[in-house]
Amino acid sequence: MRIRRALPEDLAAVGEVTVSAYAEFADDDTGDYVHLLRDAATRDREAELWVATPDDSEEILGTVTIAPAGSPWREVGREGEGEFRMLAVAPTARGAGVGGALVELVVGRFRREGASAVVMSTLPRMRAAHRIYEGAGFVRDPSRDWSPVPGVDLVAYRLELEPTG
């Protein structure tokens, strides 16, 4: 598997993979959020969009949005912390280590940059994702749980990073 920055020709497929990965968690009234999930071009422009592909093709297996300091995609990150959003794995690629590899990319990136922690928020019912985050050392941070819109409650996770050097 290769992990790389998304290319312009990837954006439509990234949007569709993200929508399909989140489909089982979408309610009937989440049309605006589905639009955000599909809009990979804006995420790539306003944050950093990364993809996982097989070694031998350009098929999008998964994607993650890294929200660096100053990005409008940041939600729960504080000064000196890294944040990521919209980790998505194609339903056909689940269980193959794609999600873990994308989390590893994010953590390594922010560790190299000297961040004090990496944070993110997720739906409580995304239990498979929680297992990936917890397996990477993330712990629940209830002090950052929040609700972006009425009826949507998100739980936060945080990974403390050891200083390097």
Residue 26, in any domain of the structure: yes
CB 88 within 8 A of CB 21: yes
Q: Which residues form the domain of 94?
A: 2-160
The pLDDT of residue 23 is 84
Residue 15, in any domain of the structure: yes
d(CA 111, CA 117): 8
Segment (H or E) for 34: helix 31-38
Residue 102, in any domain of the structure: yes
Residue 145, in any domain of the structure: yes
Residue 88, in any domain of the structure: yes
Q: What is the DSSP string of 72-121?
A: TT-SS--TTEEEEEEEEE-GGGTTSSHHHHHHHHHHHHHHHTT-SEEEEE
Q: What is the pLDDT of residues 38-67, one digit of tens each?
A: 999 999 999 999 999 999 999 999 999 999
**Residue ranges for the chain with pLDDT beneath 70:** 26-31, 163-165
The domain total for the chain is: 1
The pLDDT of residue 27 is 62
Residue 165, in any domain of the structure: no
Residue 23, in any domain of the structure: yes
Q: What is the CATH classification number for the domain harbouring 53?
A: 3.40.630.30
**Residue whose C-alpha is closest to residue 21's, from 73, 89, 93:** 89
